[in-house]
């Protein structure tokens, strides 16, 4: 039995069942329905073409340039380590040869002195002549050995594991501070320990009085060295020097994990420093004073100051720079104002120090407690609000994204590895998984 068309006011008899809209339609409305569906394809084609053009227009260097730069820097650092190791082995070989030659020279000088003494005194005996002759014959044999000597050099292939370079996808706005994981590990602080800490791709450097400790990503202490200097105000990693840089009042120190040595950087004029940050051969320092200055230092030889920005370019004379952090040719600067009793964070150009944006940080003001931050790369910054006991998430364009209460007073913060960050508190260091 035929059915009427499902379209209102249509008196025609349905000719087909439309599986798309699950209705019985007459031939006219079936064709109209088909035309409507087909007409919606053209805008979709336009959108697909537009996406294709956007894909063609993408500049890979703009998107992944920083990753490539980090990879190239890693390559340069590896070459430097190999070159340094090569130089050490060359010096070791030279030292072995020199020791053998010096010993032979010492024996020759000794026998020469003996002969000269006997000639001067004119009292040589047959026994003296025989002894001297025997000694000279022995020296001749030793000289023959030296002239024919060869050291066997055993070398082994340099093994490179694919895991030493990994690519981890990071998407904008992926980090969510509100879902912060619980503390999965804590390292306690002894009294008189500095809360400053810093990391590279492999190691975290912390101060547990009286020592510095180097921890790996499994939080195992690999090495330790005595720290005999003043309290540490800040730490950063220099890939150019392959050293951690430690700021302690008017001194800049270098900590070498390989030699376990701590050396002072003597080539820079003495000032009282407070914070530091580093990228390649650029070291940025802020001074320990109201109206803080920022100094840029070139770490490649010779180590020299190349720029210095002073108040009011950096901040007013009533302001103090708590922290500076380099990322993507910018400096994140945390500033306190003692007159207005306020804190703010600014993003500046690392080349000109021009201000890109400024954000007032609300909360309780305390002149004795400094705010500190760390970079989340493309997802902004994490800031420790030690006055209000909070962690703040600031976006790349200078907006307050999130603020959460932290269960302890956060003093310092740093990322460590691809999926972990460390928060230094009054009592110890808390580690969280990202």
Separation of alpha carbons 324 and 421, rounded Å: 18
- The per-residue pLDDT for range 228-272, each reduced to its tens digit, is 988 999 999 998 888 999 998 778 999 998 888 899 887 677 789
- DSSP H or E stretch at residue 215: strand 211-215
- What digits encode the pLDDT tens for the residues 44-58? 888 899 888 888 888
User: Within 13 Å, how many C-alpha atoms sit on residue 229's CB side?
Assistant: 19
Q: Tens of pLDDT along 359-414? A: 999 877 777 788 899 998 778 899 999 888 999 999 999 999 999 999 999 999 99
381 Cβ contact list (under 8 Å, min separation 6): 325, 332, 345, 373, 374, 375, 393, 394
pLDDT at 209 over 90: yes
pTM over 0.75, yes/no: no
Q: Give 227's strand partners.
A: none
Topology of the domain covering 177-433: Neuraminidase (2.120.10)
> Over 70: is that where the pLDDT of 274 sits?
yes
Q: Can you tell me whether residue 106 is helix, strand or coil?
A: helix
Q: What percentage of the chain reaches a pLDDT higher than 90?
A: 41
Q: How confident is the model at residue 166 (pLDDT cuts 50, 70, 90)?
A: low
Confidence of residue 174 (pLDDT cuts 50, 70, 90): low
* C-alpha to C-alpha distances, 64 to 58, 327, 328, 424, nearest whole angstrom: 11, 15, 12, 32
Residue 295 pLDDT grade (very low, low, confident, very high; cuts 50, 70, 90): very high
Where exactly are the structural domains of the chain?
A: 16-57, 86-164, 177-433
For residue 286, report the phi and psi dihedrals to the nearest 5 degrees.
-110, 150
Looking at residue 375, what is its pLDDT? 92
Lowest mean per-residue pLDDT among 89-103, 115-129, 171-185, 300-314: 171-185
Mean pLDDT of the residues in the chain: 87
The rounded distance, in Å, linking the Cα atoms of 198 and 240 is 16
pLDDT for res 173:
45
Residue 338 backbone dihedrals phi, psi, to 5 degrees = -80, -20
What pLDDT, on the 0 to 100 scale, is given for residue 378? 75
């Amino acid at each position: 039995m035929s059915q009427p068309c499902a379209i209102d006011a249509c008196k025609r008899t349905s000719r087909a069942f439309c599986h798309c809209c699950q209705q019985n339609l007459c031939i006219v409305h079936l064709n109209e329905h088909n035309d409507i569906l087909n007409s919606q394809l053209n805008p979709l084609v336009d959108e697909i073409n537009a996406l294709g053009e956007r894909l063609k227009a993408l500049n890979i260097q703009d998107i992944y340039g920083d990753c490539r730069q980090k990879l190239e820097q890693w390559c340069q650092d590896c070459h430097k380590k190999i070159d340094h190791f090569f130089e050490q082995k060359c010096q070791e070989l030279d030292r072995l040869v020199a020791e053998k030659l010096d010993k032979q020279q010492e024996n020759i000088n000794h026998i020469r002195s003996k002969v000269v003494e006997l000639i001067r005194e004119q009292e040589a005996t047959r026994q003296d002549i025989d002894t001297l002759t025997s000694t000279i014959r022995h020296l001749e044999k030793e000289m023959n050995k030296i002239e024919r000597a060869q050291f066997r050099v055993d070398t082994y292939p340099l093994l490179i594991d694919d895991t030493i370079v990994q690519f981890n996808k990071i998407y904008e706005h992926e980090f969510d501070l509100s879902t912060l994981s619980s503390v999965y590990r804590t390292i306690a602080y002894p009294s008189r320990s500095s809360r400053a800490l810093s990391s590279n791709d492999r190691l975290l450097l912390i101060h547990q009085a009286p020592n510095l400790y180097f921890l790996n990503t499994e939080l195992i202490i690999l090495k330790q060295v005595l720290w005999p200097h003043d309290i540490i105000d800040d730490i950063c990693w220099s890939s150019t020097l392959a050293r951690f840089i430690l700021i302690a009042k008017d001194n800049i120190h270098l900590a070498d994990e390989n030699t376990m040595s701590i050396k002072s950087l003597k080539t820079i004029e003495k000032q009282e420093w407070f914070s530091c940050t580093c990228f390649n051969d650029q070291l940025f320092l802020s001074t320990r004073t109201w109206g803080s200055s920022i100094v840029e230092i070139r770490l490649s030889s010779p180590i020299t100051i190349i720029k210095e920005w002073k108040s009011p370019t950096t901040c007013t004379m009533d302001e103090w720079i708590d922290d500076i952090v380099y990322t993507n040719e910018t400096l994140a600067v945390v500033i306190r104002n003692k007159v207005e009793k306020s804190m703010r964070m600014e993003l500046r150009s690392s080349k000109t120090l021009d201000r890109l944006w400024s954000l007032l940080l609300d909360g309780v003001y305390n002149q004795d407690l400094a705010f500190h931050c760390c970079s989340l790369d493309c997802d902004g910054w994490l800031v420790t609000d030690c006055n209000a006991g909070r962690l703040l998430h600031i976006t790349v364009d200078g907006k307050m994204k999130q603020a959460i209460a932290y269960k302890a007073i956060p003093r310092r913060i740093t990322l460590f590895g691809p999926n972990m960050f460390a928060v230094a508190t009054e009592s110890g260091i808390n580690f969280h998984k990202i």
